[in-house]
Structure 1
Amino acid sequence: MAKVIGIFTGKDLKWMESEGGSGYWIVRTDRIKSAEYVILIRNHRETWAVKDGLGHGQAFMVGKISGCIPTKKHAGRKLIQISEYALLPDTENFKKAWKKLTAGQRYPVAYLNTNDLLQNIDLDVEKLEWSAFNANPNAETASHESEIIAEEAVDETKELSEIIAEAKEMIAHAAGIDVDKVNIQISF
């Protein structure tokens, strides 16, 4: 049973290849690095989202995770790197996949496993036909090992801030407001 990251995204394969993977997410690096696969599920709620005939909440692609790096475009966010991908057919079992896999959670990142995929959407990743993920060579990448090590060290010290950032995003999404309108107060 392999670990899987579920991503609710408005981006398609071409867009992800241009960016070098699936981004830009508030996630813990260790959780991504311990996962083997990412399943991409269509989100039409963003005005910029790709409208390609797939339904909102429909699973459209599975990728093999090859890494997770910090991004310079959006502070505190990560890019999930993909080495290979498999496009999923437009069949009934993949429609409403987000709801089937996460009970419709509002936060766009879900931590799953291959048994969840098999049981809830009848997807066996072992039977997929894989193609090379052609990441744009000019896409953002971690250029030095020291950058990755430094980011992982920051992950450990920023855990509370990441949790707060995730909570703020979830609350804002659920309330239909901008993230900067959400304040979280902690009393010790």
Structure 2
Amino acid sequence: MADTIVTFTSRSLEEILESGGSQEWVLNRKNARKANYLVCARNANGEAGHGPGPEAHKSGFLLGKISGLGPGDTKPGRYIILISEYAEIDEPDLWVFGRNPVHYTTLEELGIDPDAVDWQPVAGKPTRPQKVSANVFDTAKELIAKQLGIGVDAVEITIRT
């Protein structure tokens, strides 16, 4: 089972740490919620406006412990993969996963040993507490119940972080 999300990013290590994670990703939330680790690989040809890092194109440069998922900063429907700890890695030619900039795999398949790195705490924003009105849940439960043709009391909402 995949325990790792790999992102192909143009953001620098400093940008990722400052924001508390790697962001603006379209994710398969079911797979993403099961992941424990984030690996970032350098996209040296990526999005303009981001400070490119010194790493070689396609090389893995960051390993992070995932602490949760949150909404991205700029684009609706995109997410930030939050990390609580990180380690700098140097994995040449790690990105071999094609055009989609998000890939689900395992650290074992990547050849990365999480016990062999120097973990550091993320000093940026490792978590983003969400303030959600109870009314949002009531509305969501009503919509789900109506769509399924069941009573509102039969609907439960669980949030995993």
Could you tell me the TM-score, scaled by structure 2's length?
Answer: 0.74
What is the match of residue 119 of structure 2?
130
Max Rg structure: 2
Shift of 1:95: 1.2
Q: Which runs of 5+ in 2 are unaligned?
A: 145-161
Moved more, 61-70 or 25-34: 25-34
Percent identity of the aligned residues? 30
- Counterpart of 1:96? 93
Asked if 1 retains the 8 angstrom alpha-carbon contact of 2:2 and 2:31, the reply is no
C-alpha change, 1:53 and 1:116, in structure 2 (3 Å) is same
- Which has the larger share of helix? 1
Structure 1: gaps spanning 5 or more residues: 158-188
The residue aligned with 2:57 is 56
Q: Does 1:83 align with 2:84?
A: yes
- Is residue 70–residue 142 contact of structure 1 (8 Å, CA) maintained in 2? no
1:8–1:43 CA contact under 8 A, matched in 2: yes
Work out the number of aligned pairs and report it: 137
Amino acid at match of 1:88: I
Normalized per residue, which structure has more strand?
A: 2
RMSD: 2.6
> Which residue does the alignment assign to 1:141?
128
Contact 1:60 1:87 in 2 (8 A): yes
CA apart distance, 1:36: 0.5
Q: Out of 91, 94, 99, which is 1:106 matched to?
A: 99
1:1-188 alignment runs, 5 A limit:
3-46=3-46, 47-71=48-72, 73-89=74-90, 94-99=91-96, 102=97, 105-118=98-111, 123-136=112-125, 141-144=128-131
CA distance in 2, matches of 1:27, 1:146: 25
Q: Which moved more, 1:32-41 or 1:16-25?
A: 16-25
Q: Distance in 2 between matches of 1:35 and 1:83?
A: 14
Per-residue CA deviations over 1:16-50 (Å, capped at 9, x if unaligned) read 12223110101132322210000000001123343
Partner of 1:88, secondary structure, is strand
Other structure's SS at 1:62 match: strand
Aligned-partner Cα distance in 1 for 2:82–2:131 = 16
Write the distance in 2 (CA, Å) between the matches of 1:54 and 1:13. 10
In 1, Cα distance between equivalents of 2:100 and 2:115: 28
**Alpha carbons of structure 1 residues 2 and 124: separation in structure 2 relative to 1, 3 Å:** farther
Deviating above 6 A after TM superposition, structure 1's stretches of 4 or more consecutive aligned residues are none
Q: Is the 8 A contact 1:32 1:67 kept in 2?
A: no
On the 8 A contact 2:70/2:79 being kept in 1, the answer is: yes
